[in-house]
Structure 1
Amino acid sequence: MTDVQTQEDIQAQATRAPRSRKNKIVVAAIAGGLLAAAGIAYSLLGGNGVSTDDAYTDGRAITVAPHVAGYVAALDVTDNQFVRQGQVLLQVQCTDYIAARAHAQGDLESTEGQLASAQSELELAKINYPARFVQARAALATRRANLFKAQSEFLRQHEIPNEATTSHDVDYATADRNAAESQVEEALAQKRIAEPVDLNIADTEAHVKQLQGEVKRGQADLERANLNIGWCDIRAPQDGWVTKREVEKGDYVQVGQQLFSIVSPEVWVTANFKENELTHMRPGQHVSIAVDAYPNLKLKGHVDSLQLGSGGRFTAFPAENATGNFVKIVQRVPVKIVIDSGMDPNRPLPLNLSVEPTVELR
């Protein structure tokens, strides 16, 4: 009985041995297939990706500063408040600027009156100066005729015999001649004064142009005064959040002083990849972005552009590689990544948060 059982066990074992080897071969083949599939999937999905933890959220932070100096009369915003473009953020006291506008308005009106008077004088000058020249020339001709008459009488009184005249008539003729000569000289002088007609008119025109320039300057002063009053209301240059507020109601602010910043809703990622990671990186490639502050937030984006220069090239003190002690350091190049989807409208991303983007290089 024992011998028969032993023989049957041997036959069973002999039957199971090929099956076991066959099962092992199948399992090995399945495992190899799975490993190959995993390798292919890794190559297609993750093997061609490149990531970096040297990346941060980035955006626009616009500095708000006043155009005019003065005391803050009203402050209409608080820290981290969302504002719309054109919204009044604060008001600078504008009493002095209103008075300056009234003064500029008065100066302009006075100058405009002077200009109107000068323009009238110019029109009169175009008539008067030529007429005065004609009048002076006619007066000279009359005086010369009088001189000729006086000279003739003078000669006649000296040529006739003494018995035919008297000393009184001779003296009278002499005086008339001398007076006529003086009158001719006076007429010559008047003619010389009236002769430069064009110059006299040009002088009046120059005075008009001078006043026209003063009117333009007065208009500019008035426009600047109006601008100053308008600039007393400091408005938001764009939509965004008020950040880093450094002003309070009642403070005295200077022109150009930083009051706060407006952070734009548009946020992107600036990732600093190593230079040897840029070989196959191109604009438009898909990017997966993990945010350290919000682990459950999965963002999708794409490569927008690569900066044409490493970060070290634009530092305040660029490296001097020609000093003889050069040590090669792998450079990092900033890459702009635009976020396409995944943003939570109720949870805006602050600037400079740490993120980890993965660029698919397929």
Structure 2
Amino acid sequence: MEVILLLIYSFFVWLVFFKFKWLPWNFVSQVIVVTIPIIGLTLLILFLNIVAPSSSDVRVMNYVVQVIPRAMGKVTSVPVQPNRPVKKGDVLFTIDSTPYQQDLAALEAKEPELVAKLSSAQAYSRELRAELESAQSTRSSLAAKLDLARKRVGQTHDLATTGAGTHFDYEQAQTDAKALQADLLMNDANVAQVQQKLSATTHKGELSEVAQARAALEQLRAQIVHARWMLDQTTVYAPADGAVINLQLREGSYASNLPLVPVMSFVENEQWVIAMYSQNELRYVKPGDEAEITLKTFPNRIIKCKVDSIVWASGTGQLPLGGVLPPTAQAPLPGQTAQMTGAAGPARYAVRLIPVGRDTHTFLPMGAAGQGAIYTDHIELIQVVRRIILRVSTKLDWLVLKLH
């Protein structure tokens, strides 16, 4: 674009000084003619870098899921094809489910036994409570009979003393009272024994035997749920729309659930378009600003975008964990590298761009690189220069500059 502006400027200089000779071509005019484009282009570029910042580092990134199965075993089928579109929920591969089916069957076989134990414990609990109620009722009856017998002892004693009754009746009444008292003491012992058995209860009021049987049954049912879940994990599904790249998994392979040994990499269709900018170029950029990008994959094409967000974070601002002190070396001097001084390179910030309009569903290859520009709300008149520069540069992407 600068070359085009210089050519236009040169054309007008030729018209004014040589064609029509409206002004004399002398030393002063020569100095002015040379100075004007230098100052003008310098100011134009400086303002453009602020109000319409450009980036030569635009990247297309995709989410990559490292597929690690929860179950492990021999792979029985791999119906997915490499580098082919896959829908969310499609089967990626299956693992031999025989061991997991056997584990599930073994656990399910134990359930009726534990259910019977729980029912037996609950029946025993009900029996003890019924026994306690019966013993308490019997105690009340014996206590009433004992009171009556004691009154009978007093009455027969008085009658025997006055001669109105026999001494035998008095002795019989005493014997009946002692027998009732013995029965009452035995009943109290039975009540205490039943209460002692019922005293071993949980905070929910359940008998300990019932609580233990219920806990064992619930634990078994939890194991059954986990076994069914593990059985389901023998079939691995696509986590999203995307594709499997560089598929190496084959039938007969052994799939492990080790985190460091994924069986395949799944590339999702969801993408991020990232443009990298220097720290001082984003002073006027805000979410919602218009943006345009070009990718070398699509020569002579402008992809319309808008600013989604600015990632105000950089790895150079992260302190390392551990006993290492934060690096404080100065930035590398001209001719030095970051490795020479121990300093990181100049921090750049990423701006996330979202394709809009007819480019919303445009296929963007993962890893595609290019350049782009963001158009702010300041000095919009000169931003047309940036648009022209971007369009001229994307036409140059048609050129394949290699000799073989």
Normalising by structure 1, we get a TM-score of 0.69
Aligned residue identity for 1:103: A
Matches within 5 A, 1:220-299: 220-255=222-257, 256=259, 257-299=261-303
Instruction: For residue 258 of structure 1, give the secondary structure of its aligned residue in structure 2.
Output: coil
5+ residue gaps, structure 1, are 1-19, 27-31, 150-176
Question: Aligned partners of 1:65 and 1:239: how far apart in 2?
Answer: 17
Matched, 1:326 2:335: no
Aligned match of 2:373 = 358
Aligned residue identity for 1:274: S
Question: Aligned partners of 1:247 and 1:316: how far apart in 2?
Answer: 37
Question: Aligned partners of 2:86 and 2:346: how far apart in 1?
Answer: 43
Question: Aligned partners of 2:326 and 2:103: how far apart in 1?
Answer: 58
Preserved contact between residue 319 and residue 326 of structure 2 (Cα < 8 Å): no
CA distances 1:108-134 after superposition (whole Å, capped 9, x unpaired): 221111111111222111111343466
Structure 1 residue 243: deviation in Å?
Answer: 2.1
Cα separation, partners in 2 of 1:277 and 1:321, compared to 1, 3 Å: farther
Higher mean Cα deviation, 200-209 or 92-101? 200-209
Instruction: For residue 287 of structure 1, give the secondary structure of its aligned residue in structure 2.
Output: strand
Higher mean Cα deviation, 270-279 or 303-312? 303-312
For this pair of structures, how many residues does the alignment match? 309
Structure 1 residue 219: deviation in Å?
Answer: 1.3
Matches within 5 A, 1:1-362: 23-25=20-22, 48-132=51-135, 191-203=188-200, 205-206=206-207, 207-255=209-257, 256=259, 257-314=261-318, 323=328, 325-327=329-331, 330-341=346-357, 343=359, 348-362=363-377
Question: Aligned partners of 1:142 and 1:309: how far apart in 2?
Answer: 91
Preserved contact between residue 91 and residue 233 of structure 1 (Cα < 8 Å): yes
Aligned residue identity for 2:106: H
Question: Aligned partners of 1:21 and 1:273: how far apart in 2?
Answer: 44
CA distances 1:240-265 after superposition (whole Å, capped 9, x unpaired): 11124342211111225422232222
Question: Aligned partners of 1:198 and 1:344: how far apart in 2?
Answer: 76
Aligned residue identity for 2:251: K
Aligned match of 1:156 = none
Structure 1 residue 317: deviation in Å?
Answer: 7.8
Cα separation, partners in 2 of 1:321 and 1:254, compared to 1, 3 Å: closer
Higher mean Cα deviation, 241-250 or 74-83? 241-250
Aligned match of 2:159 = none
CA distances 1:288-315 after superposition (whole Å, capped 9, x unpaired): 1111233234211111111121242358
CA distances 1:161-197 after superposition (whole Å, capped 9, x unpaired): xxxxxxxxxxxxxxxx9xxx9xx99985774353154
5+ residue gaps, structure 2, are 1-16, 24-32, 154-174, 333-344, 378-404
Structure 1 residue 78: deviation in Å?
Answer: 2.3
Instruction: For residue 94 of structure 2, give the secondary structure of its aligned residue in structure 1.
Output: strand
Question: Aligned partners of 2:136 and 2:373: how far apart in 1?
Answer: 93
Sequence identity of aligned pairs in percent? Answer: 22
Aligned residue identity for 1:111: L
CA distances 1:224-280 after superposition (whole Å, capped 9, x unpaired): 121112111111111111124342211111225422232222323112210011111
Preserved contact between residue 57 and residue 267 of structure 1 (Cα < 8 Å): yes
RMSD: 4.4
Question: Aligned partners of 1:259 and 1:273: how far apart in 2?
Answer: 37
Preserved contact between residue 135 and residue 187 of structure 2 (Cα < 8 Å): no
Q: Which has the larger radius of gyration?
A: 1
Higher mean Cα deviation, 128-137 or 96-105? 128-137
Aligned residue identity for 1:303: V
Instruction: For residue 52 of structure 1, give the secondary structure of its aligned residue in structure 2.
Output: strand
